[in-house]
């Protein structure tokens, strides 16, 4: 689900986050809240778990998560900066 602000700007409910863990990069999906400039303000510390009361709700959540791939990945270590795999 994309959320619109009072100006009609759209920003995604879910975002992809990345962090280094040893020699690997770990990716996860988190629900994200934004400030008035559409900059991520905070995110759920526990990654999203897909649980729904209907198949339609589950499909909508999956679609919302897939939409997150259309936006830059966010760095957990340097939140809210984009992740850069160095």
Residue 14 has a pLDDT of: 94
**pTM, two decimal places:** 0.82
Give the model's pLDDT for residue 19: 95
Across the range 13-21, mean pLDDT stands at: 94
- Inform me whether the pLDDT recorded for 29 exceeds 70: yes
Confidence band (pLDDT; 50, 70, 90) for 36? confident
pLDDT of residue 46: 96
Where b means 16+ CB within 10 Å and e means fewer, 45-70 reads eeebeeeeeeeeeeeebeebbebbee
Residue 63 lies in a domain: yes
37 domain residue, yes or no: yes
Give me the mean pLDDT over the 29-52 stretch: 93
Average pLDDT in the chain: 88
Which residues partner with 19 through β-bridges?
Answer: 26
Domain-located, residue 81? no
Number of domains in the chain: 1
Range of the domain at 67: 2-75
- Is position 82 within any domain? no
């Amino acid at each position: 689900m994309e959320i619109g602000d009072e100006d009609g700007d759209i920003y995604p409910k879910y975002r992809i986050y990345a962090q280094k863990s040893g020699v690997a990069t770990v990716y996860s999906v988190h629900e994200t809240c934004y400030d008035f400039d559409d900059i991520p303000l905070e995110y759920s510390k526990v990654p999203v778990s897909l649980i729904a009361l209907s198949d339609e709700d589950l499909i909508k959540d999956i679609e919302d998560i897939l939409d997150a791939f259309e936006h830059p990945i966010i760095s957990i270590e340097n939140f809210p900066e984009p992740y850069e795999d160095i």
